[in-house]
Amino acid sequence: MVSRQWRHLGLQPILTRVNLEFDLANIFGINDVRDDDFEDDLYAEDFSKQDFVRCVNKVLQLHHGNKVESFKVEFFFNRESTIILDEWVRFAITKGAQVLDLHLYCCTYSLSEREERETFYDFPCWLLSELNPSPLKNLSLARCFLRPPPDFDRFNQLTTLYLYKAVVDNISLARLLSDCLLLESLTLDSCMGATDLLAKAMFPCFMGTLFPCFMKPCFLVCSCRTCINML
């Protein structure tokens, strides 16, 4: 059942919210969700993906504001929903969102780790390249592929990058970190694909701050090396 606050969207012809958050609490009115619940196949089946998508699309259709500061999606999605998720990312970036969170829960836990990984959503770096310079400062991805193409520079404004159960290889990670000169915080939690972390970044000495890099248990991450050249 969809939360009452979403049933009357038709009565709100103009939405100008700058912080858009779509999750179980806001769409279905479920506030007492435990982490263990998301590990249960039956729990995912309790919520209609069709209803969730319809509510989000309705909000975006009615949104007449010129600016969105943050955009968050937290639900059971995978690669099958690529077209839908791509359009939502396009909306967020076009509206100038500085914070983008895509926390995608597994749709079924009967798959092996490799099979599950193959269902992950591929974050559309290509889409950012087609749009105006990206305003993104905070990017948080869960259960996604992150593989920026060569010469990709649309993450150069990032200050915070959080990856949970994401798939990113050595080359993509090294290229990404080398281009993120403003990065202040990096968290890799249970990520897959990278066997080595080598960050080459230029940090002005007047910043006087340390670069926090949080390495939580990751698959195939063997070492972490940070090379910082001080100007």
What value does the mean pLDDT take over residues 215-226?
A: 50
Compute the CA torsion angle 147, 150, 153, 159 (nearest 10 deg).
40
Using CA atoms, how far apart are residues 211 and 203, in angstroms rounded to an integer?
9
- Distance of alpha carbon 12 from alpha carbon 86, whole angstroms: 25
User: What was the pLDDT predicted at 43?
Assistant: 56
Domain count, the chain: 1
Nearest 5°: CA angle at 156, between 155 and 159? 85
Which residues on adjacent β-strands are paired with residue 179? none
3-state SS of the chain is CCCHHHHCHHHCCCECCCEEEECHHHHHCCCCCCHHHHHCHHHHHCCCHHHHHHHHHHHHHHECCCCCCEEEEEEECCHHHHHHHHHHHHHHHHCCCCEEEEEEECCCCCCCHHHHHCCCEECCHHHHHHCCCCCCCEEEEECEECCCCCCCCCCCCCCEEEEECCECCHHHHHHHHHHCCCCCEEEEECCECCCCEEEEEEECHHHCCCCCEEECCCECCCCEEEEEEEC
Amino acid at 212: P
Token couple for 115: 């099979």
List the domain range (segments joined by +) for residue 90: 4-230
Q: What is the mean pLDDT of residues 112-121?
A: 86
Q: Read off the pLDDT of residues 134-175 as tens digits, 9 standing for 90 and up.
A: 889 999 999 999 999 888 888 999 999 999 999 998 888 888
Is the pTM for the entire model greater than 0.75? yes
Q: Which of 179, 172, 180 has its CA nearest to residue 148?
A: 172
Higher pLDDT, 222 or 57: 57
Say yes or no to pLDDT of 21 above 70.
yes
147 near 125, Cβ under 8 Å? yes
Split at pLDDT 50, 70, 90, the class of 109 is: low
State yes or no: pLDDT of 111 exceeds 80: no
Nearest to 187 by CA among 208, 158, 207, 209: 158
pLDDT digits (tens, 9 = 90+) for 60-78: 999 988 999 999 999 989 9
